[in-house]
A and B are shown apart, each in its own frame.
Chain A
Amino acid sequence: MLEAALEALVNVTSGIHLLYLIGGVFLGLTVGIFPGLGGIVGLSLLLPFLYGMDPTSALAMLIGLVVVIPTSDTFTSVLMGIPGSSASQATVLDGFPLAKKGEAARALGAAFSASLLGGLLGALILTLFVLVARPVILLFTSAELFMLTILGLSMVGVMAGNSVLKGLISCGVGLLLGGVGGAPATGEYRMDFNLSYLTDGIPLVVVGLGIFALPEIVDLLRQNRSIAGSETLGKGWFDGIKDTIKNKWLVIRCAGVGSMIGALPGLGGSVVDWIAYGHVVQTSKDKSQFGKGDVRGVIAPESANNAKEGGGLIPTLLFGVPGSGSMAVFLGGMVLIGIEPGPSLVEDQLSLTYTIIWSLALANIIGAGTCLLISKHVAKITTIPYNLMAPFMIMVICFAAFQATRSIGDLFALFAIGLLGIVMKRFDWPRPAFLIGFVLAGQMETYLYQALQFYEWGFLLRTGVLIIAALTLISIIMGIKFGSQEEDQALKDTRPTNRRPQVWFAGFLFIVFLYGLYDAFKQSFLGGMFTGGVAIVMLILTAFMLYKLTYGNADDPANYDYEVQGSHVGQAGLVSLPHYLYWLGAFLLGVYFFGFILALLVFFIAFLRIKAKASWLRTVILTACAMAFLMIMSRVMVLDFPRGILQNLTELPWPIG
């Protein structure tokens, strides 16, 4: 082992290797900063060069590229509230509120230093773990993996906010929505409304963007301010680094959890940041600032998600089973280079494996370090008036959502989930709980079904299952023990007296669950069991909630309406909540009829002229920039933007055709 380690060390520090690694890192950073892009696009840019390159240099570039994607996507998560990929959804929860407080630089400083440390620790853990990983990973059967999804689900408790009932129902909506599409056990299409788009289920990226980013965009537009709310920024990036150092034990714990869960094939990386976030909330005495800009809520997921990439290498290298989308791309690249994953990578080619793991650590240092250095400057973006930024934001999230399956359905799904997000935000239904449910639904159902088939109910008594069950119990107890927070007095004093809108929304959810149950009965037993079960439990809870909202005490913390209690209430010139939804809806209709490019062109000009009151010159320049960006992307990424009815009727030249 020592010999292999030394050989790897020589490899990693050699000039050529380092050069290609840096090349890969910068390519990755440039691509990763756009939400929705990421390893996949980076790979297609890299591939023409990869082919025919010598394997060591090609590998270095590939690693550099893949590793830094979850680093640079933090920029949009923190600065704009747009989760750049599914790995940084939890970062949005506290990162964006910090940016809104004018502490964007601090949040970025904390995020990148946590990324850096997390990545390094992850590599350190992997160096030892890789030697014993094969048998350990094989211990995690479908039964243990199912139990791990339950552990993930238990995090809902601490993220439920003021009302546990609301948290559970939100999670239920996520679970039901995650059940859309082919059933794991039978392949039957559930709740697909005969739309072929829905047969594959709704992509996680689209759900993340809709539920978090769209409501924030609408909210900021209505308040018509810059993200930071002022011209000057508060605390700087160096404070962020200090925050990370102060929370070093948290970083170590989250990095450990991140690399271990990342190493389990089949669970995937999208759960990791939520478990890390849930963990920090659970173990904190003062929970009052979480969701409103607690820097620990940035540090925890960021230290975990970079460690996770390293963990994800293990099943990819040892079993040839990629744990995530970017690892699938990495695997494809390895095959092209001519490296075959398998047990031999540990038995005969340990030095190669160590070269990979340490290149990863090195890429992490270079990537996170670069981001750290530029974060101070990039943070200034939050002082730009939002009206000028909004069309770009809309373009960026549509573009990102469209990357999910490259179908116009992505845009409709984005809008629909966005509407749900806006209403959930208004009535304070916890959106993280919803997303956890959505993320875990598929895996939970699959592993439950498989465990039952393989072991029948006896799977509950397996040692591994019992250990994870105990951990789940501890996690729940810790959440309760540290107790929930006392509400703000201001919230208590302003409770809405007209609860009808809230009742309507709860009623809507009731109907959704009712439909879920109806749909479940149309399927075979195995195909409808999971969604039907979720629907039944949720119907009971929602009925209870409806009763509580209609007849219950008005002082109940569950009674909340942002339009009555929000800080923006009473501001001068405030437009109604649906106002910007009409704008978005009109844009979407435009896409449907005239295609994405033409619709966006008109949207840009109209919005900048009418809403931002920009001069014609400015309007033309900004619109031209946006169009140029899309043309380049379309060309480089070999992609067609959504076509409308117009494009289907007549032949039009590129790019509008």
Chain B
Amino acid sequence: MNTNRSYYNFLISSFAVICAFVLSANAIAADFSNKRIEWIIPFKEGGGSDTWARYYAPMLAKNLPGEPVIAVKNVPGGGSTTGANQFQSRAKPNGLTLLGTSGSTQFPYLLGDKRANYEYKDWKVVLATPTGGVAYINPDLGTDIAKLKSEKLVYGSQGATSLDLIPLLAFEKLGLNVKAVFGMKGRGAGRLAFERGETNIDYQTSSSFLKKVTPLVEAGKATPLMSWGALDADGNLVRDPTFPDLPHFAELYETVHGEAPSGEWFNAWKAFYAAGFAAQKMIFLPNDTPDDIVQAWRDAAAAVVESDEFKNTSQAALGEYPQAVGDAADGLVDLAINVDSQAVEWVRTWLTERYNVKF
């Protein structure tokens, strides 16, 4: 009898809890007390995006109303499309599920990969983490760009539809004779191949260039060639503030061709550059999230970026660039996602013709 009664008590109290939960969801929306937030990272543990999320998670939690727990949930697979698809189809608009995307999530979406069944335009951005990139070459090749065009260059790549699209297209338009060797397991593997002398041209994102290639430059084993640049408020390519002494891609293009780059291909390059670098990692809330919840998240992100704790530690963990919150984040999403369809078509055709990519 006794067990029966406690069983009914249990049922009743669970029912009460569920009712309270359902009712409270609307009443006091932007309070996360005693809540557990799941932050979907569509990559494996230990990688760049995972580390990025785990760096941010405790600080965001601290700055949200009610100080909830934020747990990182890794859903890898399908080149990061699996996790994004899951977010698109399952996440509820209650501010308790987030998605952290990366350039590798943006590219399949833009290119219309059949595995990408998610819609960025539905989502609400909380924060965007930009980065840049620097290309460098073997010092034996010299620094004369005109001479470089006659050299046989070899580049170790992860694949033509990965972020390597940016360097591959840039090299081609500079008129460089670059052979891409695929199958690299990451930018680290590409750098290793460069150090072994198997390749003679390579690029790294800003922070890993600073930490891992700068020592090579100092030892005379690498020469920086150009940065990808940075986008100003009007979407123009300008010098990367982290590498002010280094010409950006458009400058180098002008040196080579005598005129500034323009046309469909350059629009396409800039759009994919924005999606891959200028807005490389982003935090999103799902479709239809109420404004007050979105605002709570955006405020938290803004507070994190302003905090002393962040200022003291972010350079080591995230690199040199200012984190985009609020309107700045909206602006970056706009650049990265609203790519005009002609530019996309141009890139798809180029990938098919040049690298035999089937869509």
Contacts and interface: CB of A to CB of B under 8 A. Distances in A.
B45 A329 contact: yes
B75 A321 contact: no
Nearest to B160: A187
Given A185-B182, A186-B182, A342-B211, A319 B46 contact: no
A185 B82 contact: no
A186 B192 contact: no
A196 B196 CA distance: 35
A196 B115 contact: yes
A320 B188 contact: yes
B46 A200 contact: no
Interface string B151-162: 000101001110
B181 A638 contact: no
A12 interface: no
B196 A187 contact: no
B356 interface: yes
A196 B113 CA distance: 11
Interface residues of A, number: 52
Contact of B183 (A184, A319, A330, A340): A184
Contacts of B355: 186
A142 B46 contact: no
Contact of B45 (A43, A335, A343, A524): A43
B235 interface: no
B188 A319 contact: yes
Interface in B60-107: 71-79, 81-82
Interface in A425-475: 446, 449-450, 453-454
Interface stretch (B47-55, B128-136, B266-274, B300-308): B47-55
A67 B196 CA distance: 29
Contacts of A333: 46
A199 B159 CA distance: 14
B45 A44 contact: yes
Contacts of A653: 18
Contacts of A44: 45, 72
Contacts of B45: 40, 43-44, 325, 328-329, 332
Contact of B185 (A199, A266, A320, A335): A266
A407 B198 contact: no
B46 A322 contact: yes
A336 B76 CA distance: 21
A155 to B, nearest CB: 24
A43 B181 CA distance: 34
Nearest to A452: B181
Nearest to A52: B58
Nearest to B115: A196
B44 A187 contact: no
B338 interface: no
B313 interface: yes
A95 interface: no
B159 A187 contact: yes
Contact of A142 (B50, B182, B198, B208): B198
Contacts of A265: 189, 192
Nearest to A331: B46
Given A325-B46, A332-B45, A449-B183, A340 B316 contact: yes
B260 interface: no
Nearest to B214: A342
A319 B215 contact: no
A48 interface: yes
A519 interface: no
B35 interface: no
B167 to A, nearest CB: 16
A322 B161 CA distance: 23
A639 interface: yes
Nearest to B38: A638
Interface residues of B, number: 55
A344 interface: yes
B257 interface: no
A162 B42 CA distance: 46
A340 B211 contact: yes
Interface string A338-354: 10101110000000000
A454 B115 CA distance: 32
A141 B199 CA distance: 11
Interface string A261-272: 000011000000
B75 A406 contact: yes
Contacts of B212: 319-320, 342
Given A142-B193, A332-B46, A332-B47, A196 B211 contact: no
A454 B18 CA distance: 63
B317 interface: yes
A188 interface: yes
Contact of B77 (A51, A186, A405): A405
A336 B314 CA distance: 10
Contacts of A52: 58
Contacts of A322: 46, 188
A47 interface: yes
A187 B76 CA distance: 18
Contacts of B195: 138, 319
Contacts of B51: 332, 335-336
A200 B38 contact: no
Contacts of B356: 186, 524
Contact of A141 (B58, B159, B188, B198): B198
B358 interface: yes
Contacts of A40: 44-46
B192 A319 contact: yes
Contacts of B82: 196, 405, 407
Interface string A186-214: 11100000001101100000000000000
Given A320-B188, A332-B46, A454-B198, A638 B72 contact: yes
B151 to A, nearest CB: 16
Nearest to B40: A638
Given A332-B46, A342-B211, A638-B38, A321 B76 contact: no
Contacts of A266: 185, 189, 192
A638 B71 contact: yes
Given A325-B44, A332-B54, A524-B356, A454 B73 contact: no
A332 B53 CA distance: 11
Contacts of B121: none
B38 to A, nearest CB: 6
A52 B59 CA distance: 11
B19 interface: no
A324 to B, nearest CB: 10
Contacts of B191: 319, 321
Contacts of A200: 77-79
A450 B154 CA distance: 11
Nearest to B159: A187
A73 B355 CA distance: 43
B182 A51 contact: no
Contacts of A342: 211-212, 215
Nearest to B213: A342
Nearest to A185: B182
A453 B189 contact: no
Interface in A282-337: 319-322, 325, 328-333, 335-336
28 contacts: A40-B44, A40-B45, A40-B46, A43-B46, A47-B54, A51-B58, A138-B192, A138-B196, A185-B183, A187-B182, A200-B79, A265-B189, A319-B191, A319-B195, A320-B211, A321-B191, A329-B46, A332-B45, A332-B54, A342-B211, A344-B215, A405-B82, A406-B74, A406-B77, A450-B156, A450-B183, A453-B181, A454-B154
Interface of A: 40, 43-44, 47-48, 51-52, 138, 141-142, 182, 184-188, 196-197, 199-200, 265-266, 319-322, 325, 328-333, 335-336, 338, 340, 342-344, 405-407, 446, 449-450, 453-454, 524, 638-639, 653
By Cβ-Cβ distance, the 4 closest A-B pairs, closest first, are A328-B46, A184-B183, A329-B46, A332-B46
Given A141-B198, A186-B182, 12 more contacts: A43-B46, A196-B77, A199-B79, A200-B79, A266-B192, A330-B46, A335-B51, A335-B316, A338-B313, A450-B181, A454-B199, A638-B73
